[in-house]
Each structure stands twice: as structure tokens, then as C-alpha cells.
Amino acid sequence: MSEPHIETPEQLDEANARRADVPIPTGPATEEEPRSGRPADPDALLEVDDVTLRFGGVVALNSVSFTLRKGEIFGLIGPNGAGKTTCFNAITGVYRPTSGGIRFQGESLVGKKRHQITTSGIARTFQNVRLFPEMTALENVMVGADAHHKTSVISALFRLPRHWREERTGRARSLELLRFVGIEHRAGEVSRNLAYGEQRRLEIARALATNPTLLCLDEPAAGFNPAEKVDLLNLIKKIRDTGVTVLLIEHDMRLVMGVTDRIVVLEFGKKIAEGTPAEVRDNPAVIAAYLGVPTDAA
């Protein structure tokens, strides 16, 4: 799939009209938009502001807005196909929103390169584990650690002091992270040989190695048994306790309820509810959306 592009004049007009609707980021907040508490919230870390994303004729995200605050665990839930991962991909630069803005620590992310988004402090994992399969666990994490390294090709070529220093610190930090997620003993194993649960943990370690302010986890519990899920919950909390904000995509309601501070619910690309776990659980729209959908389908 390529980026959505405009093909007919009608679409162009529509897009322009939509663009005009988007409030100017630097302008003062209008009273007509109370849901966007952006300027009023000095703790805001990530602001997703009226994001729409289309693929051809399909609207994957429709005017979605929400704000993450520093230090919280934020859940993004919804039934399958609700647009959770699409939203995720828009944040991490995989897709470019058709309209709307995404700001991270006050800076717009739209149009930034993926690696720039990473170095600015957003890290993510993938719904289907995407490790570098032929690298060892340690090397996987070191790739993440490299995101903030300054070793140039020249200094790597001639083994200049910076190369040694960063290799040393990178390795130490990577091992520390492997210990943190509990798979230190597997550091030298090629990642495709790791058990599934270990791979998931490794992905988290790799993401953490980029020193994120915000960690986005895409269905980290998929395929886990209840005991593993509990371990994962504890890990997520532990991550939050180190000062990292967590954005969690999940459709397992129980998991989300147990760990998140606030939740946004998507359905068919639209936000249908937002609030604390308790508020969301009682929201009739959410119940309707989930009705008949087994909550632990994964």
C-alpha cells in the first residue's frame, strides 16, 4: 500500500476543506473544542489531534483525538479492525495522516522520518514480533541502543575511541535491559531461536534501549497464557516506574483494565469513549462495541 493520494478534484477540495478545519497548532484553543485539552494540560506528552487517515476510499481513522500525559499508562482499545494499529503506525511515522496533527512534547511528528521519531523519544513493539531473526538477543538490543550513539562510519572503520566507548556502554546497557526484562541468560542466543514469550520481552528490551520517553506496545500479550500475562503486567508497571510513559494497544479488556490509568476506545476508526478504566467499562457504547466479541479472543 502506498500513501493515500488525491486523484480527483473533488477529493482535493475535500482535503483542503479538511485541512482548513484543523486548528492552527500555535493558536489559542477555541472553546468549541473542549475535548482537546491540549494547552490547558502542561503534562501533555503526546497529542493526537483530529487525525484522519484514508487508504483510497477506506477511512481507517476518522478525526481521532486524544492526549497522553507524562508518566501514565494509556490504553488504546477496540475490537479487531478498529484502527488501533493504524493509529499506532501514524504515531510512529509508518503512515502519514491524511489530515490532523500529532505532537510529541510540543513538536509536530507529521512528516518526520521514522528514525527521527525514534530518536525524539518514541519507541514501539510490533503486533507480530519483528525482531532481527538472525541476530543474537544482545545484538537486537544493541541496535536499539545505537539509536543514540554517535559513532560514525569513519570512527568504526578506524576503531577510534568513541567506537570503543560506545560499544562498551551500549553493551552494558543492553545487558542491563535484558536483565530488566528477564532474559539475560539468553543474551547470546540467536533471536529466532528464542521462545515466543522471550521474543516478546526481547522486543520490549530493544525498544527500551532507544531511551524512549514514550513506549508504545502493540498487543504485547497476544498469545500469552494467564500466568505470562500477569508477568507482563508487572513488567509494564516496572517500566512505567522508571519514568517511561506507556501507550498500550490491547483488545484483552481484562489486561487493560488492570494496568492502565486512562483508556481510549476506537471502533471503525472513530473514538467512541475515553476515560478511566472504570468509566470506560460502564460506557454503553463500549459495551455495544464489544458485545459478542470475546474479550480474550487472542
Instruction: Give contact residues for another protein (rule: CB under 8 A).
Output: 1, 92-94, 113-115, 118-119, 123-124, 126, 130-136, 138-139, 142-144, 146-149, 151, 153, 156-159, 163, 166-168, 170-172, 175, 184, 187-190, 192-193, 206-207, 210
Return left, alpha or beta for 87; rule: phi > 0 is left, psi -120 to 50 is alpha, else beta: alpha
**For residue 72, which of 255, 237, 212, 233 has the smallest C-alpha distance?**
237
Q: Which residues contact 192 (CB under 8 A, 6 or more apart)?
A: 131, 133, 134
Query: DSSP class of residue 136?
Result: B
Q: How far is the CB of 20 from another protein (least distance, A)?
A: 29
Q: Which residues contact 70 (CB under 8 A, 6 or more apart)?
A: 43, 44, 45, 213, 245
Integer Rg of the chain from CA: 20
**For residue 177, which of 212, 152, 153 has the smallest C-alpha distance?**
212
87's grid cell: 493509529
Q: Which is nearer to another protein, 65 or 174 (CB)?
A: 174
Q: How far is the CB of 158 from another protein (least distance, A)?
A: 7
What is d(CA 198, CA 147) in angstroms, rounded to the nearest whole number? 22
Q: How far is the CB of 196 from another protein (least distance, A)?
A: 15
Q: Which is nearer to another protein, 244 or 255 (CB)?
A: 244
266's grid cell: 476506537
Q: Which is nearer to another protein, 171 or 254 (CB)?
A: 171
Q: Which amino acid is at 135?
A: M
Q: Which is nearer to another protein, 11 or 155 (CB)?
A: 155
Q: How far is the CB of 148 from another protein (least distance, A)?
A: 8
Q: How far is the CB of 143 from another protein (least distance, A)?
A: 5
Cα diameter, the chain = 64
Asked if 139 contacts 210 with a C-beta cutoff of 8 angstroms, the reply is no
Q: How far is the CB of 99 from another protein (least distance, A)?
A: 22
Q: Which is nearer to another protein, 41 or 55 (CB)?
A: 55
Q: Which is nearer to another protein, 36 or 174 (CB)?
A: 174
